[in-house]
Structure 1
């Protein structure tokens, strides 16, 4: 272990099974859906009211606006209702409940945190700050989502988390999102679908178009290109898939930070949203945007994605483009370097890479800047979030995997003007799993997705063995002293 003094704070985030959302549970076979609906249609109106009263009694206090959720789930199966008679509102809600179920978001784990400055610093005392922490929550079936916490760091370094509500709410999915034509076409080309059918769909669309614009153009091409070939069907399916992978979310401003949850939405996320690395990015004009890279997983393949938000209420979810968008662990620098965006990555699941781009959405030409050096990182190394700017250089918190698949946290220092130059790196881990930190879903792991500065202290939230999360802090001056040569 490094000789740098580390303070473990009395802050621990443990999985909480009572934090649940309602999600649709709809069988894949139309016959089963029809059979279930038939049982609800066979009830008398009095029986419907009695059964619905029981549902409300058991579940209404556990959720915000349960009626609206059950109504939306009824709409998902309405096409299978086989009677022409009008259904009472109560019967519709009961049918919605038959195709719904609670999901405990963090029943298995809450881990891999990142931390950023809160967009609202009003009311903070001098020397203190408010923060937002993102976490990977994992429940039944190992499906991961993004949760949030907020809290404060006082002038004296005391860290307090805001009270956590038991309520959790998924955002509204914006029904008609907009797309940038150039980005859309670049991604189509990368996927091998820049053919005549895609060109026919894209040609009438403007430089910025909506989902309804795309649907209209797809419908026109499908109608005119007859007979429909296999290539046409595959291209149109790809266009729809790509549109589904780029979407917009919106939370009510009445929700506390801990009540907001980003649950998988698109087909490439069916098995989870993993390891969001949030960073507060400052543009050249001084404006701030929060970006996060994350890994979408559908059970077979991973797809690096990008989140954009200014306020943690409205979010844009976008696919990342380019030949370098191949692996996990991408972390954006918090400002442009030499006029260009910069990103850490790990294309080969072993070394740490750096790449530059004129756009945060397109990445290519990565170059290796760090290879495994010490035994504790001899299997592979990666980043633990976005680099942090200091007067001595870019501070990169790293992770290393060594014997017995033990994960430790380390650090490196890159040149401010040319981050391809490594100024120094720790030879010993900054943080290694010890005591009960070793026990969890994946033993012997400490891991972080992002840290931040509070004055001359580094605030480092970290996960313990893919189960729970904690927060440590250490002196920035002490760390820089260990990293700088001589």
Structure 2
């Protein structure tokens, strides 16, 4: 595996919000469409105090090689855009007027259609949304989950005739253990109504996590199974580098392998993290020691590009051969 030594996208490359100090770009969904790399990134701007920013939007960057990126002149998604475009499909009492923030995008290209999985903050909980677009200007709402759910990723093809997604609900009371969240799956016939929900991987099954886990980038299909990245949190005693106090979590990027015919079944797990926070831009930033994979591209030559949020501040990149990644995974009986 090879880490790119510096971030591939930083706040300095974003042409808007430059008058807002201490901004971050991270947790970006990435896809390759007609030979062009597209990155939809979260842009938190104007850090105020503690863990608060004055605003969040989603921007889009483009690249010919997956390494050097240029950012479009305006953001493509804001809370105002979603509120306006989705106003006709929700009762005024609740949605969409109460959408406060849209963030953490994931991209899946499905039969030529661009599908986005998004997180949205509301006064009544965090919901996961699925939307489609053809022009990066208009967004059709396909589905919104109940609170609290996020980190949704959509499989790039139907499995046994159904759409499939991975997700991470985060119950506080039912689990009985703070921040012990897991990876679940749900199925749908139309991308709108979801059900047949199953637990896929529990947090205690990941050796390098003593806290929550969750899906990361949309899966890629291999001969051996569906290759999936995950994020896994390790709580530590010492305080880590951060813009705010009391940050004591290390986020690792890991790998699991799901059965091709039944992706609710984990057939393999890498017992060690694939990506650990080691470089300066990974251990220093808004929240240091955070690795959060969000995009994974399988190239024609079997090279895999994995893009990750780094310290909740910028976007990093690692590359490896598909064979190298699969070799890290140990079978689960």
TM-score normalised by the chain length of structure 2: 0.80
User: What does 1:172-251 align with in structure 2 at a 5 Å threshold?
Assistant: 211=88, 239-241=91-93, 245=96
Distance in 1 (CA, whole Å) between partners of 2:158 and 2:76 is 33
Larger radius of gyration: 1
The aligned residue for residue 281 of structure 1 is 110
Distance in 1 between residues matched to 2:153 and 2:224, nearest whole Å: 20
Q: Distance between the aligned counterparts of 2:119 and 2:149, measured in 1? A: 8
Q: CA deviation at 1:359?
A: 2.2
* CA positional deviation for 1:420: 1.8
- TM (normalized to structure 1)? 0.56
* Cα gap change, 1:240 to 1:10, in 2 (>3 Å): same
Q: Which structure 1 segments of 5+ residues have no match?
A: 22-101, 122-128, 154-158, 180-210, 215-237, 246-266, 283-287
**Alignment match, 2:174:** none
Distance 2:11 2:215 in 1: 25
> Shift of the alpha carbon at 1:301?
2.5
Provide closer, same or farther for how the CA distance between residues 316 and 11 of structure 1 changes in structure 2, counting only shifts above 3 A.
Answer: same
* Deviation readout 1:247-294 (Å, 9 max, x if unpaired): xxxxxxxxxxxxxxxxxxxx3332x21211111113xxxxx2111111
Query: For residues 146 and 241 of structure 1, what CA distance do their matches in structure 2 show?
Result: 26
Q: For 2:152 and 2:91, how far apart are their aligned partners in 1?
A: 25
Equivalent of 2:262 in 418, 421, 428: 418
1:332-371 alignment, distance < 5 Å: 332-348=154-170, 350-371=181-202
Tell me, yes or no, if structure 1 residue 387 matches structure 2 residue 219: yes
Deviations 1:381-400 (A, max 9, x none): 11112111112111110110
Q: Is the 8 A contact 2:59 2:74 kept in 1?
A: no
Q: What's the counterpart of residue 296 of structure 1?
A: 120
CA distance in 2, matches of 1:15, 1:176: 27
User: Are residues 1:13 and 2:9 paired?
Assistant: yes
Contact residue 103 and residue 139 of structure 1 kept, 8 A: no
Identify which of 264, 268, 292 aligns with 2:98: 268
Structure 2, unaligned runs of 5 or more = 47-51, 171-179, 237-248
Instruction: Please state which structure has a larger fraction of its residues in strand.
Output: 2
Structure 1 residues 299 and 376 mapped into 2: Cα distance closer, same or farther (>3 Å)?
farther
Report the equivalent of 2:283.
438
2:68 to 161, 169, 172: 161
Q: Secondary structure at the match of 1:12?
A: coil
Q: Distance in 2 between matches of 1:170 and 1:292?
A: 12
**1:386-433 CA-partner distances (Å, limit 9, x unpaired):** 111112111110110013211000000011111122110100000010
- Deviation for aligned residue 1:318: 4.8
Runs of 4+ in 1 over 4 A off after TM superposition: 169-179
Aligned length: 300
